[in-house]
């Protein structure tokens, strides 16, 4: 039987549903409690630890490089010091416990134990079979981790792999477009689909002066207007970035096939809607201003 490759936009939409559920743990109090028990208490330290732990006890340089849009001085404030409180292995175990608790709380016991969850895990893991390790450090590090046995954790693990696979490729595209970390996130915010400036500055370590300077550079390039909105050229650049990211990320979804992508998107959308209704994300997370 011939597998029909999905439209690139279908792959992007599928990724979006998977990534949304993956991202719930970044805003979960369960993660803070688990890491706090290990002596990691500051929210920024928690964030750096849970995402970077798969890389091992790396220094600030590796985290800044792979995360891309964080200010290095913020990263260096907590990394590598965080590994003195908890080893990467301890952090990964704590993250798994927290994700388990979070998904059970947001989705409910019936959804976690459902046939739909098992089906979603099977489809998502099948998509990861076609991921590439080349020049993808965060994906490759997570791909070395064992697949959890419980379907809801296996689904979350596969979502993490697909998120980091696309993300690593996306950074290459941003670099080719000449956008540094802050410029990249600022232009994404200007699309109306990114985090609000307040969330960017609070979580990524940038000051208002940093933000304004980046906006000035983007205006000089003709990508932003005086009101901070994307110009026609800026909008075209963001569209080009997404299309090229789709191209670099097409293999997992082509491997799954159009029908598989459609079904995984359908299942993932249901899970995300349930999580959103349960208050998975802050109300002010996404905004232009």
Question: Would you state the pLDDT for residue 195?
Answer: 86
Q: What angle do CA 264, 267, 268 make, to 5 degrees?
A: 80
Question: Would you state the pLDDT for residue 6?
Answer: 81
Distance of CA 114 to the CA centre of its chain: 25
Question: Would you state the pLDDT for residue 194?
Answer: 87
Q: Which two tokens stand for residue 45?
A: 């330290």
Question: Would you state the pLDDT for residue 286?
Answer: 74
Tell which residue, 8, 99, 80, 97, has the closest CA to residue 40.
80
pLDDT tens per residue across span 123-140:
999 999 999 999 999 999
Question: Would you state the pLDDT for residue 2?
Answer: 44
pLDDT tens per residue across span 278-289:
999 998 887 777
Distance of CA 220 to the CA centre of its chain: 30
pLDDT tens per residue across span 24-57:
999 999 999 999 999 999 999 999 999 999 999 9
Q: What is the mean pLDDT of residues 252-257?
A: 97
Question: Would you state the pLDDT for residue 252?
Answer: 97
Tell which residue, 132, 38, 41, 44, has the closest CA to residue 92.
38
Whether 102 contacts 281, CB under 8 Å: no
pLDDT at 1 over 50: no
Q: Is 228 helix (H, G, I), strand (E, B) or coil?
A: coil
pLDDT tens per residue across span 175-232:
999 999 999 999 999 999 888 999 899 999 999 999 999 999 999 999 999 999 999 9
């Amino acid at each position: 039987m011939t597998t029909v490759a999905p439209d690139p936009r279908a792959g992007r939409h599928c990724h979006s549903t998977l990534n949304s559920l993956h991202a719930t743990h970044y805003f979960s109090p369960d993660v803070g409690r688990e890491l706090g028990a290990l002596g990691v208490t500051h929210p920024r330290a928690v964030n750096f630890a849970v995402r970077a732990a798969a890389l091992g006890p790396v220094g600030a340089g590796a985290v800044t490089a792979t995360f891309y849009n964080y200010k290095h001085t913020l990263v260096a404030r907590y990394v590598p010091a965080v590994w003195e409180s908890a080893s990467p292995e301890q952090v990964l175990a704590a993250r798994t416990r927290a994700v388990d608790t979070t998904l059970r709380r947001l989705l409910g016991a019936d959804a976690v134990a459902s046939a739909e969850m098992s089906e979603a895990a099977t489809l998502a893991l099948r998509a990861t079979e076609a991921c590439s390790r080349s020049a993808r450090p965060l994906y490759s590090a997570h791909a070395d981790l064992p697949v959890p046995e419980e379907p809801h954790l296996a689904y979350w693990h596969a979502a993490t792999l697909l998120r980091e696979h696309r993300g690593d490729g996306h950074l290459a595209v941003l670099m080719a477009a000449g956008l540094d970390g802050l410029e990249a996130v600022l232009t994404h915010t200007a699309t109306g689909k990114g985090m609000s400036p307040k969330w960017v500055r609070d979580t990524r370590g940038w000051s208002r002066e940093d933000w304004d300077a980046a906006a000035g550079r983007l205006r000089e390039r003709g990508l932003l207007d005086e009101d901070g909105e994307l110009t026609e050229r800026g909008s075209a650049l963001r569209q080009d970035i997404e299309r090229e990211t789709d191209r670099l990320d097409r293999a997992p979804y082509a491997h799954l096939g159009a029908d598989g992508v459609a079904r995984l998107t359908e299942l993932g959308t249901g899970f995300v809607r349930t999580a959103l209704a349960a208050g998975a994300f802050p109300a002010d997370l996404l905004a232009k201003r």
